[in-house]
Amino acid sequence: MTAPSLQIITWNLWVSAPVCALAASAMVTLIAGAFWPAFARWLTPCLALGGIALTAAFTILAGMLGLPPAGMQVMDSFTVVFDLIILIAAFITVLVSNHYVTRENLERGEYYALMMLSASGAMLMAASDNYVMMFLGLELLSIPLYVLAGFSRGRSESQESALKYLLLGAFASAFFVFGAALVFSATGSTNIVVAGDATERALVGTTPIYVIGLAMILTALAFKVALVPFHMWTPDVYQGAPTSVTAFMAVVAKAAGFGALARVAAAGPEGSWTVLLWGLSAATMIWGNLLAISQNNIKRLLAYSSIAHAGYLLMGILAGGRAGISAVLFYLLAYAAMTFGAFAAVIILAGRGDGAEDIEDYRGIARRSPLLGWTMAIFMFSLAGLPPFAGFFGKLYLFSAAVEAGYPGLTVLAVLTSVMGVFYYLRVTVVMWMQEPEAESGPAAQTSAPLLSRLVLSALAVAVLALGIFSSPVLRWTNSGSAGLERSAEAAIQMTLPEPTNAPAALSGGSR
């Protein structure tokens, strides 16, 4: 074996190391959970946390090596930032889930293993520079989530949630595969960067085959991040799935989808889907906020809230460039902290069997538990975009990037819909702090929780405050990630793209 070949193999191994480490840790967790006795079940989440921490170490080390694009994956600073966001989300999910799975008798090793496998799929999507690898990541992300959505087998709502998610997810996967095939037929490549650049060089960016293929890929990713009109599954799945799974789904699945969207949008021909993304962003912000206003179930409210936030995040993808992608990364980190915090509070308040999920069940709960009242208020204020919390600065960076990119109309619409969102977020706070409890309102909300759950809740509230007050250092970190996305695209073109004079010949003719 020649030295260059050995070097390429080494590069591929390091690029794949984080995903492989997390998947291997998931297998170890699964086997340990199956054979450990009942009294040792508390070690299963500890094993999962150790695997996630080990994966984070591999991610940082691989990022420090400065590896060039290798095979179908790339380990650039964008991948490192995205992987760490996903790993932080997975780590928090394990902590949040510990109390929930014990209370609901779901304490089985496969729960944490499935969650880790799904996170590894999200990491693979963010690192993929090839449609084939991105599809593998999409399936690795989705299949464990189908199982997790129905993990509470004794509840019909959970079974219904899993079935709906499975059926619609299968349609999304089919759209992605067929769209990738059409893009390949138009460009002769499944490499995201090469296919996008080849369309510009050969002037085939507006051919029907390429446009339809790109639209089908966008449809699949739009389903994963719950953009309107591909959001129909979200409220029912979020409500029926176990609450800890809903939190994981709301953050990790959305992050994976936007990581893939950033890769595809950065490599596509300039202006190829500007109008489409503008319309999707506007419709998602309007529809998500409008329907959230009328919700009485807290999980359905947060589901429509996540739809609205997907519209804001899409503004950053539309704006593109370093400012737009950096704002997306920052907002995802802030969104993870405030969404996990809100769901952590819901897990405590709902009680056994998730009986108290109606907002009216939370009447006066802040007087019985000031910690739950204050932390939930912080998360709601941040989701609403009020200063000085992380949500305000996340929206500020997204809106600034959109204005600089030439989308003032969409920014004005985003500001107006954010004002709409203040109503239903503050409604939760008002019910908890300013209304008297009513015995006939429904199942009583709970306030008792283990020390670990309270520590996690408090830590997430502090994180939401810290990300707002000290946003500049975090933004510099996300800026490095967005810069890495640009550098990787340029490097991939230089390494794999044929000479421009040969491109028309390679792309013309139907004999391929």
Q: Give Cα 237 distance to the centre of its chain.
A: 16
Q: Tell me the C-alpha distance between 458 and 465, whole Å.
A: 11
Answer whether residue 393 shows pLDDT above 80.
yes
143 vs 208: which has the higher pLDDT: 143
462 found inside a domain: yes
Element (H, E) at 118: helix 109-127
* Mean pLDDT in residue range 174-197: 82
Q: Which domain holds residue 396?
A: 273-469
pLDDT at 155: 80
Say which range, 16-25, 336-345, 497-506, has the weakest mean pLDDT.
497-506
pLDDT for 75-91, tens place per residue?
A: 788 888 889 999 999 99
pLDDT higher than threshold 70 for residue 38: no
Q: Comparing 372 with 413, which gets the higher pLDDT?
A: 413
Q: What is the DSSP string of 422-485?
A: HHHHHHHHHHHHHS---GGGSSPPP----HHHHHHHHHHHHHHHHHHHTHHHHHHHHHHHHHHH
Where is average pLDDT lowest: 190-199, 214-223, 225-234?
190-199
Average pLDDT, stretch 152-178? 86
Total tally of structural domains belonging to the chain: 1
Minimum mean pLDDT among 290-294, 349-353, 468-472, 485-489: which range? 485-489
Flag whether pLDDT at 293 surpasses 70. Answer: yes
Q: Give the confidence band of 490 by pLDDT, cuts at 50, 70, 90.
A: low
Give the pair of three-digit tokens for residue 507.
């792309």
Domain contains 207: no
pLDDT at 95 over 70: yes
Backbone angles phi, psi at 327, to 5 degrees: -65, -35
Residue 204 has pLDDT above 50, yes or no: no
* Residue 288 within any structural domain of the chain: yes
The pLDDT-based confidence of 5 (bands split at 50, 70, 90) is low
Q: How confident is the model at residue 270 (pLDDT cuts 50, 70, 90)?
A: low
Q: Please measure the distance between the N-terminal and C-terminal CA atoms of the chain and give it in whole angstroms.
A: 33
Asked whether the predicted pLDDT for residue 124 surpasses 80, the reply is yes
CB 451 within 8 A of CB 417: no
Q: What is the pLDDT of residue 435?
A: 76
Span of 43-52, 146-155, 183-192 with lowest mean pLDDT? 183-192
Domain annotation covers residue 183: no
| pLDDT number for residue 505 | 39
pLDDT at 506: 36
* Other Cβ atoms closer than 10 A to 455: 11
pTM of the model: 0.89
- Looking at residue 71, its pLDDT comes to 63
Structure tokens at 147: 């199982």
Band of the pLDDT at 483, cuts 50, 70, 90?
confident
SS (H, E, C) 29-80: HHHHHHHCCHHHCCHHHHHHHHHHHHHHHHHHHHHHCCCCCECCECCCHHHH
| Range in 229-238, 257-266, 476-485 the model is least confident about | 476-485
Mean pLDDT of 326-350: 91
Q: For 73, list phi and psi in degrees, rounded to 5.
A: -125, 160
What pLDDT score does 127 carry?
A: 84
User: Which pLDDT score is estimated for 239?
Assistant: 87
- Whether residue 181 lies inside any domain: the answer is no
The reply to whether 158 falls in a domain is no
Q: Which amino acid is located at 310 in the chain?
A: A
Whole-angstrom distance, CA of residue 308 vs CA of residue 320: 19
Q: What is the mean pLDDT of residues 224-241?
A: 88
Judge whether residue 478 has pLDDT over 60: yes
What is the 3 state secondary structure string of 275-323?
HHHHHHHHHHHHHHHHHHHCCCEHHHHHHHHHHHHHHHHHHHHHHCHHH
Q: Say if 485 falls within a structural domain.
A: no
Q: What is the pLDDT of residue 6?
A: 58
**What confidence tier does 66 reach under pLDDT thresholds 50, 70, 90?**
low
Across the range 350-372, mean pLDDT stands at 79
Is residue 118 in some structural domain?
no
